[in-house]
Amino acid sequence: MTQKNLALVSGANGHLGNNLVRLLLKKGIPVRASVRNLQHKSCFKDLDCEVVQADITDKASFKRALQGVDTFYAVGAAFKLWAKDPKKEIYDVNMQGTRNTITAAAEAGVRRIVYVSSIAALDYTHIPTKESNGYNPDRRDMYYNSKNDGEKLAFQLAKDLGIELVSVMPGAMIGGEAFLPLNVSYGVLKLILNKQIPVDTGITLNWVDVMDVAEGCYLAAQKGRSGERYILANEKCMTITDTTKLAQELYPALQLKVPGAVPKFMLYAIAGLMEFSAKLKGKPPLLTTKEIAMFSGLQQDFDISKSRNELGFQPKDNRQVVKEALAYLLAHPELLQA
């Protein structure tokens, strides 16, 4: 039996994917959730949705998963900022994934795609950053490159194949339901609560509630103009140090220490040591020299008037978002220990 208005969410066991599945079900939309590995489906417990296997590097799996689907929420991607071979493990996977999933959607007769891009695909040379600024000219990071080039490819394929596609660009998502392994953004709050941030890096994050992003994805499916991009973030960013100060105010009993500022050359030296140690262990470093070079002092402030006016996107205030996410982590100590 075919279901009317069936939605497919890819990467549905990830942070955004899983919270989006929950939101769509609450709105009465039938959902098919795709995951790369069917062993990782404990996060669908008690959710009334179909769970199927599909891998963005395998087009045939998506062609099967997209049969009878009206709206495809393309969430699934390799989301990591560090890998032993970043081009192969991040860039190539995301580019191939974009090509596979969009061509499979067109062949399966899907009506509309909400393509989850990232604020990484924006040009930060004019603040506040807006969609019309174009793409990020900084080519030093393979994840960032995959989001810039992937979004361009998505629009081109949609145009060539005659399928409606809207792009959404989320900020640093926290809040909502979370599962192990924690996403990169929640991971920063975990480091703060576990007192594992040694110095003030000058790095900022644009905190946004994952449920607001999920709502923004839904609104983009309903109201977004095909061929357009929409920022799903807050107007203002916060430094990791200011985020630590907020945690310190809220939870004095934890005795959190605000990391002190050090000269930039010391930041590079610390990051260099962490990278060296990570190479030996084969694990991602806490901080990399590239992150210092690209992000220290970078203001991630956005003009979100387009999303507000065209979609009705109304994100929660960033301080409120951080407060709720910290409370969630402290109420789920198993997430902090792993």
Is 44 part of a structural domain of the chain? yes
Q: Has residue 305 been placed in a domain?
A: yes
Q: Please provide the DSSP assignment of 36-72 as one string.
A: S-TT--GGGTT--SEEEE--TT-HHHHHHHTTT-SEE
According to the model, what pLDDT value does residue 278 have? 86
The answer to whether the beta carbons of residues 131 and 309 sit under 8 Å apart is no
* 197 domain residue, yes or no: no
- CA dist 12 and 276 (Å) reads 34
Q: Is residue 251 part of a domain?
A: no
Structure token pair of residue 96 = 């191939």
Kindly state whether residue 327 falls inside one of the protein's structural domains: no
Cα 17 from Cα 72, distance rounded (Å): 12
* In-domain check, residue 34: yes
pLDDT for 286 equals: 86
pLDDT for residue 152: 98
In a domain, 125, yes or no: yes
Q: Distances from the Cα of 131 to the Cαs of 99, 119, 289, in angstroms?
A: 23, 9, 28
For the chain, the domain total comes to 1
Rounded distance between C-alpha atoms, residue 187 and residue 20, angstroms: 20
β-pairing, 207-209 vs 172-174, is: parallel
User: Which residue range is the domain that position 148 belongs to?
Assistant: 7-174+208-234+301-316
Distance of CA 143 to the CA centre of its chain: 11
Q: What is the pLDDT of residue 71?
A: 98
Dihedral sign, Cα of residue 197, residue 172, residue 211, residue 25: negative
Q: What is the mean pLDDT of each run of 10 residues along the chain (338 residues)?
A: 84 96 98 93 93 97 97 93 89 97 98 97 94 95 96 98 98 95 92 92 96 98 98 97 96 94 91 90 88 91 98 97 98 91
Q: What is the pTM of this model?
A: 0.95
Q: Are 70 and 111 in contact (CB under 8 A)?
A: yes
Residue 215 lies in a domain: yes
CB contact burial 181-212 (16+ within 10 A = b; e otherwise) = ebbbbbebbbebbeeebeebbbbbbbbbbbbb
CATH number at residue 19: 3.40.50.720
DSSP 182: P
Residue 1 pLDDT: 43
